[in-house]
Amino acid sequence: MIEGILIGLQTALSFKNLMMVMIGCFSGTIIGMLPGLGPMTAIALMIPITYGFDPSTGLILMAGVYYGAVFGGSTSSILINAPGVPGTVATSFDGYPMAQQGKAGKALAIAAYSSFAGGTISAIFLLIAAPSLSLVSLSFRSPDYFGLMILGLTAVAAFSSKGNFLKAMMMVVLGLMLASVGQDTLSDIPRFTFDNMNLSDGISFVLVVMATFAMSEALTIIFKANDPTKAAKQISLSQLGSIKLDKDETKKMVTTIPRSSVLGFIIGVLPGAGATIASFLAYGMERNFVNDEEKQKFGKGSVNGIAAPETANNAACSGSFVPLLTLGIPGSGTTAVMLGALLGFGIQPGPRLYQTNPEIFWSVIMSMYIGMVVLLILNLPLIPYIARVLATPRTFLIPLILFFSLTGVYLMSFNNFDIYMMIGIAVVATILRLYDFPMPPLILAFVLGGLMEENLRRSLLISDGSWSFMWDRPLTIVIMLTIIFIVGWQIYKSFFKKT
């Protein structure tokens, strides 16, 4: 393990990778600040750039963008009450009221320190837990993996469905259907290609991500431009106030950060949960922990109310790397995008990753520490300047997002068929989003589709076509029962319980 850490440290501290962490954190912070553009979009925009790098560097860049985007999301939450990332919605509950009191600088500082602390503590957890988890996960067999993938998909569907689980499940199926286009991996038999050569290799992952996130997000913003409920609020950066914290505020943060870090990390590790759930749970938990006097301040600019969700969402980001790196199963939609990118590099994350590619495994973990330091340096002194990006008129911003999306796809294939397909998927995705059909389950399903089919194939072949593999082993039974519980509860909640 020590040797692995040293290898990781060496790789992460190379000049090129240090630059990538900085570029990733910086660009992620800026993209994360823009309302509507979350870490998933930020990473999707980075994928074409990472193709020129080796896997470690590419992953380090994407990880930097990830933390940066989550971190940056808090800025727009606090300054204009428009969270750039769902994970920072809870931050706006107290951050925005504090900013309105002329203490925006203080709110941003609390967010920066909390994010740093949460990210660092959870990176230590990751360092300790990841190898042991990967050893445990070696005992997983094909049926368990198949079950875990369904669990991941149903969990993501449950958390992102906004009360409409069946809509999310339809998106899961649609994602899997899109993944089934192209030649069958084992027999090379063409499926759903309609004799079109452009489809024989399947639909590109970058194309689907760009279409469903960056492009459809841009189209949705224009589509809803006249909607009074969605009107963008003008940003006022004239009063940021001091960024210094007094003793009392520091004391409050010291008690909040450890418990929110633990909660955030645990939530992040669970497939499907991620930063959004972690931040909401931490906010709720903190409200129950504080005294009555402090409880009254919640929603009106409470220090604990900012520190808790900010700590938890960053801790969850690190936590979500555990299932990604050790099991090959993404803990969130964002890590699903990263899994796709890793597969694009020819790397299969899983229990053996830290044995076969230790430099990748450990360098990503090590780059997290460095990333947190970079983010702290960025967020404190540079925030007033970076925040001016928020003032970029959408008349320029939207075409530039479309430009990056189209270029990203064109650079992969150099044919216009992919551009047309991307436009088609983006238009469909825009309509679906309009009616609250969530996109993260679709992406996760698209990424996991191939692996799911592979594990189902193995399981069915081993059991000679019998579905008994689902209850042959205690571990598989536990996973399947969890899935049944999630599906049953969500259907009940969606249709028989008003939210």
Residue with tokens 């998909």: 153
What does the buried/exposed string (b/e) look like for 431-470 if buried means 16 or more CB atoms within 10 Å of the residue's CB?
ebbeeebbbbbbbbbbbbbbbbbebbebbbeeeeeeeebb
| 491 belongs to the binding site for another protein (CB under 8 A) | yes
Which DSSP symbol is given to 387?
Answer: G
The answer to whether 282 and 255 have CB atoms below 8 angstroms apart is: no
| 434 belongs to the binding site for another protein (CB under 8 A) | yes
Which residues within the stretch 369-408 sit at the binding site for another protein (CB under 8 A)? 393-396, 398-400, 402-403, 406-407
- The interface region with another protein, picked from 96-104, 113-121, 221-229, 298-306 by CB under 8 A, is 221-229
Tokens of 485: 């519980």
Which residues within the stretch 170-209 sit at the binding site for another protein (CB under 8 A)? 170, 173-174, 176-177, 180, 184, 186-187, 189, 191-192
Taking CB under 8 A as the criterion, the residue among 2, 247, 464, 474 binding another protein is 464
By beta-carbon proximity to another protein, the closer residue of 316 and 401 is 401
Taking CB under 8 A as the criterion, the residue among 1, 411, 477, 478 binding another protein is 411
By beta-carbon proximity to another protein, the closer residue of 230 and 287 is 230
Taking CB under 8 A as the criterion, the residue among 7, 133, 389, 423 binding another protein is 423
| CA gap 60, 40 in Å, rounded | 15
- The interface region with another protein, picked from 58-66, 272-280, 369-377, 454-462 by CB under 8 A, is 454-462
By beta-carbon proximity to another protein, the closer residue of 380 and 389 is 389
Which DSSP symbol is given to 326?
Answer: I
Judging by beta carbons within 10 Å of its beta carbon (0-12, 13-18, 19+), is residue 479 exposed, middle or buried?
Answer: buried
By beta-carbon proximity to another protein, the closer residue of 244 and 497 is 497
Beta bridge partners, 182, equal 191
Q: Nearest approach, Cβ of 195 to another protein (angstroms)?
A: 12
H or E segment and range at residue 183: strand 182-183
| CA gap 193, 177 in Å, rounded | 12
Q: Nearest approach, Cβ of 64 to another protein (angstroms)?
A: 19
By beta-carbon proximity to another protein, the closer residue of 136 and 166 is 166
Q: Nearest approach, Cβ of 128 to another protein (angstroms)?
A: 38
Beta bridge partners, 190, equal 183
Taking CB under 8 A as the criterion, the residue among 460, 472, 477, 489 binding another protein is 460
Q: CA 447, 222, 214 angle in degrees (round to 5)?
A: 20
- The interface region with another protein, picked from 79-87, 167-175, 297-305, 364-372 by CB under 8 A, is 167-175
| DSSP string for 250-282 | HHHHHHHHHHHHHHHHHHHHSTT-HHHHHHHHH
| CA gap 94, 339 in Å, rounded | 34
Tokens of 217: 């997000």
By beta-carbon proximity to another protein, the closer residue of 221 and 375 is 221
| 435 belongs to the binding site for another protein (CB under 8 A) | yes
Q: Nearest approach, Cβ of 234 to another protein (angstroms)?
A: 17
Instruction: Give the torsion through C-alpha atoms of 71, 206, 358, 452, to 10 deg.
Output: 110
Q: Nearest approach, Cβ of 167 to another protein (angstroms)?
A: 7
Residue with tokens 């954190």: 25
| CA gap 311, 259 in Å, rounded | 9
| 228 belongs to the binding site for another protein (CB under 8 A) | yes
By beta-carbon proximity to another protein, the closer residue of 171 and 307 is 171
Short-list 394, 434, 344, CA closest to 51: 344
Residues binding another protein: what is the number (CB under 8 A)? Answer: 70
Q: Nearest approach, Cβ of 207 to another protein (angstroms)?
A: 13
| 291 belongs to the binding site for another protein (CB under 8 A) | no
Short-list 278, 360, 339, CA closest to 70: 278
| 498 belongs to the binding site for another protein (CB under 8 A) | yes
Compose the 27-66 pattern: x for residues touching another protein by CB under 8 A, - for all others: -------------------------x--------------
Which amino acid, residue 25? C
By beta-carbon proximity to another protein, the closer residue of 294 and 454 is 454
Neighbours of 115 (CB within 10 A): 28
Short-list 307, 313, 303, 304, CA closest to 279: 313
| 216 belongs to the binding site for another protein (CB under 8 A) | no
The footprint of another protein (CB under 8 A) covers 52, 162-164, 166-167, 169-170, 173-174, 176-177, 180, 184, 186-187, 189, 191-192, 219, 222-228, 393-396, 398-400, 402-403, 406-407, 410-411, 414-416, 419-420, 423, 427, 430-432, 434-437, 452-453, 456-457, 460-461, 463-465, 491, 494-499
